[in-house]
Amino acid sequence: AIPMDGNIAEFFKEVDGLSPEDKAKVLEQSKPMKEAHTSGAVEGPSEVPEAEAEMDLHFVTYSIVDGDLYELDGRMPAPINHGPATDVLRDGVRVIKKRIGQIGDNAREFVVVSLNQDQQ
């Protein structure tokens, strides 16, 4: 669990009761959050690109809503409904495999991360 103290606690107090759009604006302007992001982004063995470097990378999220698997991709105008699903990992594999197939030789740049509850 993430400790709810310090900058995180202050952020949640500041945005309590705001609309999602207003919360996003506060987050975009938050100096402590920007500093935390920057310090985390430069850790680890990976080479960190210059801030101005052009990148062709982004995040895509898969989620089950009302029994259907949705793909949330910020480059698309709306969520993509991939049909009925009961398990985001198992049912998401078919969509992810198709996406990797479309990437072709650049598939080595494709990374999958799963955040889920322990079901044991």
Q: How does pLDDT run across 56-103, given as a tens digit for each residue?
A: 667 788 888 999 999 988 778 899 999 999 988 888 888 888 877 777
pLDDT(119) > 60: no
- What pTM did the predictor assign? 0.51
Look at residue 1 in the predicted model and tell me its pLDDT: 55
CA torsion through residues 36, 42, 44, 48, sign: positive
* Exposed e or buried b per residue across 26-57, where buried means at least 16 C-beta atoms within 10 angstroms of its C-beta: eeeebeebeeeeeeeeeeeeeeeeeeeeeeee
Centre a 10 Å sphere on the Cβ of residue 70 and count the other Cβ atoms it contains.
19
Taking CA atoms, 75 is separated from 36, 46, 84, 98, in Å, by: 25, 25, 23, 18
Look at residue 60 in the predicted model and tell me its pLDDT: 84
Lowest mean pLDDT among 1-10, 17-26, 39-48: 39-48
Look at residue 101 in the predicted model and tell me its pLDDT: 77
**CA-CA distance, 20 to 109, in Å (whole number)?**
31
pLDDT(42) > 70: no
